[in-house]
Amino acid sequence: MAAGNISTQQKRVSDGVWYELDLSAIVYPTLQRRDFSSVYRLSVLLKEEIDPAVLQRALDRTLPRFPTYKAAIRKGLFWRYLEPNNRPGPFVQEDVKNPCQPMPFKTNHRYLVRVYYYRNRISLEVHHSLGDGTGGMCVLQTLTAEYLRLLGHEEIGSGGFVLKIDEEPDSGELEDAYMKYANAKVCPPRLEEKAYRVRGTKEPFYTLNVIDGIMSTSEVVQAAKGYHATVTEYLNAALVYALLRKQESDKPARLRPVKIAMPVNLRRFFPSKTLRNFITMIYPGVDPRLGEYTFEEIVTHIHNYMRYHLNEKLLRGDITTNAATQRNPFIRVVPLFIKDFVVRLFYTKVQDQNSSAGLTNMGALQVPESMKPYIERFDIYMGQPFSSRTNCAVVSFEDILTVNFASSIVETDVERYFFRRLVQDGIHVKIESNRES
């Protein structure tokens, strides 16, 4: 498929032919292993208990609107690709205690999405090969809107993340937006030093510990304003602070920089409707070897880092660097098993060493006005960390902001330091967890 050739994309998708994985999606199947899933979860809590039969009908009606999600992944000689999946399913299931479990590509009738229900909660799990959180949120909100309509709430409209299920997909929803905007005249190098890594007791296989902090959006905004920072900057600073405290308590032989892996939604900087992956990573943090940092200094440092890195020109250069390898004609004809080996080695030895934790903030979610009375809140989980650490996802709806931690280690030191920091700034936090105690 020619990148940026919209007519070709439309013809191939409408003809039911395969389409390539996007630039980010190429990596995720390569990293797949039995204790790392590349699966994330989005949840919506409604104000009434879920009817699973109606939810299944809504899913059957909704998923065909998203051809890159109603798909199966296939393996070729040189690359993997997606093809339309017309097998039965996926089928809604009662929720499980440990979310975001691996998705073997040949199970679940080859679907790379799961839909769960529990009491008043609908959860969508997606393999990252299909798309990022923005695309997944479109699927979840469109599904929720159709579910509410089938319950008799016919006034539910569309708009924002809620798409019309009887419309053909816009060609822009299916594009690999990376290749469209990877046109800087230079490929900036990446020189990242190894970051501090949290040491902890690894949980048994298939265990994902979840800790949710539920708080008032207005209180968090007020606390961030007190430091002249945005909510994203403030929460990144709180996580850096928690990791610094954790490293200090570890009493290591040598200190290392503390850095956060933060996905940036590139749709904010480049016009794109894509429902596939369109993110890149930045790494805000501080280096404790330079001296002790007060929390105010951490916030200021993160604020200045964000102001410098979050602009269209630097991000375009980053996309271009990422795309350079994919465009190399020699690399394109290297057999897939060799590519897999090299990518896995690079990620394990370099990429995964660049950060101490992950934090993603989806921001303030909007839904059609007619849906608001039926929704309580949203949750996001980044899923199984690749290495023994914790990841953090943030989302808000109206005056409810949730911070969702997910980890594969027993210790909760980082989470405790994080929430204590917020409480010190006057934020009231309610904690929920799937842990036994």
The model's pTM? 0.92
Cα(338)–Cα(275) distance, integer angstroms: 29
Cα(314)–Cα(320) distance, integer angstroms: 10
pLDDT digits (tens, 9 = 90+) for 104-158: 898 899 999 999 999 999 999 999 999 999 999 999 999 999 999 999 999 999 9
**In the structure encoding, which two tokens stand for residue 266, read together?**
């590139």
- Residue 329 near residue 78, CB atoms below 8 Å: no
Share of the chain above pLDDT 90, in %: 69
Residue 409 or residue 220, greater confidence: 220
The predicted structure's pLDDT at residue 85: 94
The predicted structure's pLDDT at residue 16: 53
Cα torsion at 163, 164, 165, 167 (round to 10°)?
-120
**In the structure encoding, which two tokens stand for residue 24, read together?**
């980010």
Helix (H, G, I), strand (E, B) or coil at 370: coil
Cα(216)–Cα(402) distance, integer angstroms: 9
- What's the residue count for the chain? 437
The predicted structure's pLDDT at residue 3: 36
State the average pLDDT over residues 49-66: 97
Helix 231-250 and helix 413-424: axis angle, to 10°? 130
pLDDT digits (tens, 9 = 90+) for 281-335: 999 999 999 999 999 999 999 999 999 999 999 999 999 988 887 787 777 778 8
- Residue 99 near residue 209, CB atoms below 8 Å: no
Helices (H), 151-192: 177-181
The predicted structure's pLDDT at residue 35: 66
β strands within 32-161, DSSP E: 39-46, 71-75, 80-84, 93-94, 113-118, 121-127
Query: Where does residue 105 fall: left (phi above 0), alpha (psi -120 to 50 degrees), or beta otherwise?
Result: alpha
pLDDT digits (tens, 9 = 90+) for 78-107: 888 999 999 999 999 999 988 998 898 988
Residue 385 or residue 432, greater confidence: 432
Q: 392: which residues sit within 8 A by CB, 6+ positions away?
A: 235, 239, 357, 358, 359, 360, 382, 403, 404, 405, 406, 418
Residue 32 has pLDDT above 80, yes or no: no
Q: Report which residue type is found at 367.
A: V
357 forms beta bridges with 260
pLDDT digits (tens, 9 = 90+) for 370-411: 999 999 999 999 987 777 788 999 999 999 999 999 998 899
The predicted structure's pLDDT at residue 232: 97
Q: How confident is the model at residue 159 (pLDDT cuts 50, 70, 90)?
A: very high
Q: How confident is the model at residue 433 (pLDDT cuts 50, 70, 90)?
A: very high
Q: 55: which residues sit within 8 A by CB, 6+ positions away?
A: 92, 115, 117, 122, 147
Closest listed residue to residue 381, CA positions, set 323, 430, 427, 434: 434
The predicted structure's pLDDT at residue 1: 33
Q: How confident is the model at residue 5 (pLDDT cuts 50, 70, 90)?
A: very low
Q: Report which residue type is found at 167.
A: E
**In the structure encoding, which two tokens stand for residue 294, read together?**
């007060």
- Residue 383 near residue 392, CB atoms below 8 Å: no
Residue 7 has pLDDT above 70, yes or no: no
Cα(382)–Cα(364) distance, integer angstroms: 17
pLDDT digits (tens, 9 = 90+) for 252-279: 889 999 999 999 999 999 999 999 999 9
Q: Write the burial class of residue 373 (CB in 10 Å: 0-12 exposed, 13-18 middle, 19+ buried).
A: exposed
